């Protein structure tokens, strides 16, 4: 799976934890992210797998330099082609050797040097815990730090049966329960088994890697929560799920809808249990398609609606799709939207 010969072979003894760092064009932030991992204080071995997805800036050079400095700790994989964030992530997991896996994005920071130690201790304490996660805050390049008001901080029990959380997780009800994967640690063997049983959920065709991974892990055991702040999440940069590009927003929302339906189907959920979220998401996608005003967005929406059968889109979505079926109507709809926004 390693597309480059730069991967280190002189690694530490069998690690207890594998830390996955997927990066792409993050030359300004990757060093700080790696420093925060190297600063972890543990009484066990851990490895760092840095998977660069064919960056076009100096990110690969920085990662290679870190790998040379820490040959017993860092394995650097420089992809010869761009795989996309999802495939790059799951390929990196397959390379992991640890009992547990943690991950950090190439533009974020772990502020707590005891993160790995505390989470590994939690995982060790109960073999039924499949995932352990914690609190996080946002920060920007100006040094401002603040807590998110969009995602719930779990109240009550710190360890929950994952199946109890699935209705909230699968419906993206972030106000009820939210797992930020970069705060998490999970069992590698459990994920590898899930990837074997449900290969269609872990290929490179989906828009994200965290949603299906978290839901499937929740279905297999307990979810533990640590109230400590384990992550500084950088905001202000464009990402796959956060962009001002209406066409990309529409396509992303469509793909998330299809992924949600696929996960629900594999977990035995009925259509009615996820219908509200999926209909709302398609409605958002249709409006973004109007803003984009291009034929490709309209065609992708139609294709998504067809694939989502027997999900029936809302009346508003169907009306929007009917009104924007021609180039002339898409132009009119986009102008009307601009007038309304004013």
DSSP 62-99: HHHHHHHH-TTTEEEEE-SS---HHHHHHHHHHH--SS
The pTM score is: 0.91
- Structure tokens, 262: 């696929």
Using CA atoms, how far apart are residues 216 and 130, in angstroms rounded to an integer? 10
Residues 269-314: tens digit of each pLDDT: 999 999 999 999 999 999 999 888 888 998 999 999 999 999 999 9
CA distance 249 to 240: 8
Reported as a single tens digit per residue, the pLDDT across 143-171 is 899 987 778 888 778 999 999 999 999 99
Map residue 244 onto helix, strand or coil: coil
The pLDDT assigned to 13 comes to 80
> Which of 42-51, 165-174, 228-237 shows the lowest mean pLDDT across its residues?
228-237
Distance CA 193, CA 283 (A): 35
Is there a contact between 171 and 275 (Cβ–Cβ < 8 Å)? no
- Residue count of the chain, please give it: 342
Which residue's entry shows tokens 């603040």?
146
* CA–centroid distance for 224 within its chain: 19
Q: Which domains does the chain have, with CATH numbers?
A: 17-234 (3.90.550.10), 246-341 (no CATH)
What is the predicted pLDDT for the residue at 240?
Answer: 47
Question: Model confidence over 62-94: pLDDT tens digits?
Answer: 999 999 999 999 999 999 999 999 999 999 999
Distance from CA of residue 340 to its chain's centroid?
Answer: 34
Q: Which residues of 304-342 are buried (b: 16+ CB within 10 A; e: fewer)?
A: bbeebeebebbeebeebbeebeeeeebeebbeeeeeeee
CA pair distance 297, 289, nearest whole angstrom? 5
Q: Among 13-17, 168-172, 180-184, name the one with the lowest average pLDDT.
A: 13-17
Single out the residue of 310, 314, 307 nearest to residue 281, CA to CA.
Answer: 314
- Residue 134's SS3 state is strand
Q: Token pair for residue 202?
A: 């872990």
Among candidate residues 203, 179, 178, the one with its CA nearest the CA of residue 93: 203
Quick one: pLDDT band at residue 228, thresholds 50, 70, 90? very high
Q: What angle do CA 225, 109, 15 make, to 5 degrees?
A: 70
Yes or no: say if 47 and 20 are a contact pair by the CB < 8 Å rule: no
Q: Are 53 and 82 in contact (CB under 8 A)?
A: yes
Predicted confidence at residue 341, as pLDDT, reads: 64
DSSP letter assigned to residue 240: S
Residue 42 CA to residue 40 CA, distance in Å, equals 6
The CA distance from 13 to 16, in Å, is 9
Q: Distances from the Cα of 24 to the Cαs of 56, 79, 108, 278, 333, in angstroms?
A: 8, 10, 13, 30, 36
Average pLDDT rounded to a whole number, residues 117-146: 95
What rounded mean pLDDT belongs to the chain?
91
């Amino acid at each position: 799976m390693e597309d480059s010969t730069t991967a280190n072979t002189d690694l530490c003894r069998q690690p207890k934890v594998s830390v996955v760092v997927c990066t792409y064009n993050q030359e300004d932030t990757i060093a700080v992210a790696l420093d925060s991992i190297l600063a972890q204080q543990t009484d066990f071995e851990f490895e760092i797998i840095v998977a660069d997805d064919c960056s076009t800036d100096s990110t690969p050079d920085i990662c290679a330099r870190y790998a040379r400095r820490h040959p017993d700790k860092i394995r650097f994989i420089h992809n010869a082609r761009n795989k996309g964030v999802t495939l790059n992530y799951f390929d990196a997991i397959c390379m992991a050797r640890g009992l547990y896996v943690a991950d950090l994005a190439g533009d974020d920071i772990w502020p707590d040097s005891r993160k790995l130690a505390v989470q590994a201790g939690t995982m060790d304490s109960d073999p039924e815990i499949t995932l352990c996660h914690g609190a996080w805050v946002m920060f920007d390049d100006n040094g401002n730090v603040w807590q998110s008001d969009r995602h719930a901080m779990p109240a009550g029990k710190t360890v929950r049966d994952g199946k109890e959380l699935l209705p909230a997780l699968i419906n993206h009800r972030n106000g009820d329960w939210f797992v930020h994967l970069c705060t998490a640690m999970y069992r590698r063997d459990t994920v590898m088994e899930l990837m074997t049983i449900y290969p269609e959920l872990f290929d490179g065709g989906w828009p994200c890697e965290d949603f299906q991974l978290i839901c499937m892990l929740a279905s297999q055991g307990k979810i533990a929560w640590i109230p400590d702040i384990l992550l500084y999440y950088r905001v202000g940069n464009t990402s796959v799920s956060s962009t001002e590009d209406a066409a990309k927003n529409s396509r992303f929302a469509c793909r998330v809808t299809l992924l949600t339906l696929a996960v629900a189907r594999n977990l035995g959920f009925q259509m009615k249990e996820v219908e509200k979220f999926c209909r709302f998401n398609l409605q958002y996608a249709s409006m973004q398609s109007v803003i984009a005003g291009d034929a490709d967005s309209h065609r992708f929406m139609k294709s998504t609606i067809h694939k989502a059968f027997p999900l029936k889109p809302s009346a508003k979505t169907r009306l929007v799709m009917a009104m924007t079926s021609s180039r002339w109507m898409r132009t009119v709809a986009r102008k009307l939207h601009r007038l309304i926004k004013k």
